[in-house]
Amino acid sequence: MESEAKNEKSYRRIKAVTPTLEILIFLANQREPVSGQAVSDGVGLKYDTTLCYLASLEDFRFVEKIGEHWELGMGAAMLWAKMKAKKQEAKAQAVRDIELLENGDV
C-alpha cells in the first residue's frame, strides 16, 4: 500500500479527460437535447473543439445526436447499469453473510 501511495503522487492528470467529463456532466443535467453551441458555451470550449469531443463520445455511444442537437447516450446508461448490478450483488452477498452469522451457520 505504501508504494501505491507514493506512485499515486507521481501521476499527472490528462487534461483532455476533463473537458470530456464536463461535456458528459453538462449533457446529463439537460432536460432535452441541446445544440453543439449550447454544449460549447456550457463547458467553455471552442465550438469546433466541442464538436470533436462530441463526435468521439458518439463513437462510444456516450452521447447521441438528435438532428442538430446532442444528448447523453446509452453508453453512459450502460456504465450506470453495470455499476448498479455490481452493487446489488455485493448487497445480496452481504445479506447472505449476515443471515449465516445470525443463524450460526458459519
- pLDDT tens by residue, 69-93: 999 999 989 999 999 999 999 999 9
Backbone angles phi, psi at 70, to 5 degrees: -130, 145
How many CB atoms are located within 10 Å of the residue 77 CB? 12
Confidence band, pLDDT 50/70/90 cuts, at residue 106:
low
Contact 45/53 with Cβ under 8 angstroms? yes
DSSP string covering 6-47: HHHHHPPP-TTHHHHHHHHHHHHT-SS-EEHHHHHHHHT--H
* pLDDT score at 99: 92
Architecture of domain 1-72: Orthogonal Bundle (1.10)
Confidence band, pLDDT 50/70/90 cuts, at residue 1:
low
Judged against a pLDDT cut of 70, whether residue 8 lies above it is answered with no
- Give residue limits of the domains in the chain: 1-72, 74-106
